[in-house]
Structure 1
Amino acid sequence: MTWRPRLIALDIDGTITPVGREDVAPAVRAAIRRAVDHGAHVVLSTGRSLVGARPVAEDLGLVGTAICSNGAVWWDAAARAVVRKLAFDPGPSVERLRALLPGAVFAAELTGVGNLSFGRFPDGDLWGEVREVPFAELVAEPTSRLVVRWVGRTPEELRLRLVDVELPGVTSSVDHTEPWLTLTPPGVTKGAALEELRAALGVPAADTLAIGDGDNDVAMLRWAAHGVAMGQAPVAVREAADAVTTTVLEDGAAAVLDRYFAA
């Protein structure tokens, strides 16, 4: 009997949509629908906040759990409710990063609403409402996700500046397309969240599939029985995967799903 995954974890940006967009290509949409129709649990697993992920989940008609903010926030689409929310104190890491990254801007997630920002982000960078606040207000409350953009720099410059830097009490990942750093609570990754969800759903570990393209997808790709990197993914991400598909602009996620859920 041909193997068919029962739990499918899909990154959003660079995997099922172009980065920063909500439109899923028709071929990818159809492939996801066939997987759902065959009884697979399809889970969006994204670094986006809930505000950015929810429209995609709703547009696809997914009714299960969506894993947002790299695993810190879980959204039950059927109940339309947050069912898990982990948070951390952003103060110590932000203090360190302000010294390391002159000119950087910071935003703390307000789950389901938007962000508090310290400094002005480029238009379109943040999902939901954005309210600029003083530094003291930015770090006054725990948050599930804090993002940092080093304005005017490259992702390579950001990575180099953070080499051997230990940020206290957080998990961090750097975007490969923009000078963008994401902080989440310690130990929180897409892979760890998916393992908890897999156990709760009763799906065997051998029946898991994940598709992604970024640094924050590495733990997810290693978690899956079969992890697939997108064609435009950086070398380190492709090396963490079991296979590589075509790019997001070539509907690479659909090519993977069509192997198991053909039309």
Structure 2
Amino acid sequence: MERTPRLIALDIDGTLVPTGSDEVSPAVLDAVGRAVAGGARVVLSTGRSVLGTLGVAGRLGVGGTLLCSNGAVWWDVRAGAAVRRSAFDAAAALAVLREALPGAVFASEVVGVGSLALGRWAEGDLSGDVREVGVGEFTAEPTSRLVARWVGREPGELAARMSGIRLPGATWTSDHVEAWLTVVPEGVSKGAELERLRRELGVDPADTAAIGDGHNDVAMLRWAGCGVAMGQAPEEVRAAADVVTGTLAEDGVAAALGRWF
């Protein structure tokens, strides 16, 4: 019989909610609630900033540790504070990105506050206080998360342009829905940070599960004892999983959790 997971990592955008939304379907709310009631530790593991994550966490009733910014920021819900934060010097990475992605706008996370913006972002793209600054202020302090939107371009164009590009001291993942890039410190990934958390919690590797749909979920799906890809995920993401569930529109998370709870 398949083991019931004790630690379950859930992506947000494209997995729990439509991209950019905080609205969780009743079926998914119920399924996550059953998992928590069944004794599982549910961890949101997302590329979103802390502020972009808290709304979904509140709707789900998920407490404990949130792994935000692809794991670069660990946020303790009860304490209302970051308990672990990795950062990198954005200056060198930004120089490469500005040359590779002409016309892109950039944002650097100010944890728990909002973002510094380099260029004008559309309303609603960034959470919290957004302050437009120059390059000097943008790169003055190390950041945990730098994001870029390549305005007017398609996700495939962004992926093609970034193919083979390495960023000093940092690593990047691109979105398959929007021309959006997320950059975090080198060595940080959802999979690496979940492994660190698993060890801290003393959970057996076989008692872990993860559900996701994007390129930044590949390391997480490979990390999990049972990796579950959403039905609409790109082929390379589905290939990294043990199981493929339904799409977001089909409440795939509810179906996946229903096999255990």
Name the TM-score, length of structure 1 as normaliser.
Answer: 0.97
Alpha-carbon displacement from aligned partner over 1:54-94 (angstroms, at most 9, x marks no partner): 12112221121110000000111122221111111010010
Q: Is residue 223 from structure 1 mapped to residue 223 from structure 2 by the alignment?
A: yes
Alpha-carbon displacement from aligned partner over 1:196-253 (angstroms, at most 9, x marks no partner): 1001111100000000000000000000010010011111101111111111111000
Q: What SS does the corresponding residue of 2:147 show, helix, strand or coil?
A: strand
Q: Which moved more, 1:217-226 or 1:76-85?
A: 76-85
Alignment of 1:242-253 (within 5 A): 242-253=242-253
Alignment of 1:1-263 (within 5 A): 2-261=2-261
**1:73 aligned partner, one-letter code:** V
Deviation (angstroms), 1:100 = 1.3
**1:209 aligned partner, one-letter code:** A
Structure 2 stretches lacking a partner, 5+ long: none
CA distance in 2, matches of 1:185, 1:167: 10
**1:66 aligned partner, one-letter code:** L
Q: What SS does the corresponding residue of 1:248 show, helix, strand or coil?
A: coil
CA distance in 1, matches of 2:213, 2:224: 14
**2:14 aligned partner, one-letter code:** G
CA distance in 2, matches of 1:256, 1:114: 33
Q: What SS does the corresponding residue of 2:192 show, helix, strand or coil?
A: helix
Deviation (angstroms), 1:2 = 4.8
Contact 2:3–2:206 (Cα < 8 Å) also in 1: no
Deviation (angstroms), 1:194 = 0.3
Alpha-carbon displacement from aligned partner over 1:30-68 (angstroms, at most 9, x marks no partner): 110111011100000000000000121122211211100
CA distance in 2, matches of 1:35, 1:151: 39
RMSD value, Cα: 0.9
Moved over 6 A (4+): none
Deviation (angstroms), 1:128 = 1.2
CA distance in 1, matches of 2:73, 2:219: 17
Q: What SS does the corresponding residue of 1:59 show, helix, strand or coil?
A: helix
CA distance in 1, matches of 2:19, 2:103: 24
Contact 2:173–2:183 (Cα < 8 Å) also in 1: yes
